[in-house]
């Protein structure tokens, strides 16, 4: 699946942090695949900043991000985890703009 910088960041944050052993191994591989290499961090000029509210946010060069989209193979288990989480967020009306494009790719386009 072709993913932009902001989509990769959104998905990393969306993946669960707990589960059983097999699930965590699969999720770890997905996070590694979605994560940024040192060369990508430098290329996209990725920076983590802490806002006045104490919440971290990530910034990057939108010009450079527009030049490159990474093809990330997503296994079926991870696809289902992401799809279920996004569908749940939508049902509870907790979906934010951060997740709109991944919602379209994982839920809307899947149907």
110 close to 103: Cβ distance less than 8 angstroms? no
Mean pLDDT in runs of 10 for the chain (111 residues)?
Answer: 93 94 95 94 91 84 82 92 96 95 92 61
Give the model's pLDDT for residue 50: 87
Give the model's pLDDT for residue 39: 93
Give the model's pLDDT for residue 62: 83
What is the distance of C-alpha 72 from the center of its chain? Answer: 11
Give the model's pLDDT for residue 75: 92
pTM: 0.87
Give the model's pLDDT for residue 104: 95
């Amino acid at each position: 699946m072709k993913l932009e910088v902001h989509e990769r960041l959104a998905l990393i944050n969306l993946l669960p942090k707990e589960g059983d052993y097999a699930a965590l191994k699969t999720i770890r591989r997905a996070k590694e695949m979605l994560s940024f290499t040192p060369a990508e961090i430098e290329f996209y000029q990725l920076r983590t900043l802490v806002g006045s509210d104490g919440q971290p946010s990530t910034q990057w060069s939108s010009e450079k991000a527009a030049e490159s989209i990474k093809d990330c193979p997503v296994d079926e288990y991870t696809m289902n985890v992401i799809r279920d989480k996004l569908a749940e967020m939508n049902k509870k009306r907790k979906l934010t703009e951060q997740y709109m494009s991944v919602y379209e790719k994982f839920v809307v386009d899947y149907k």
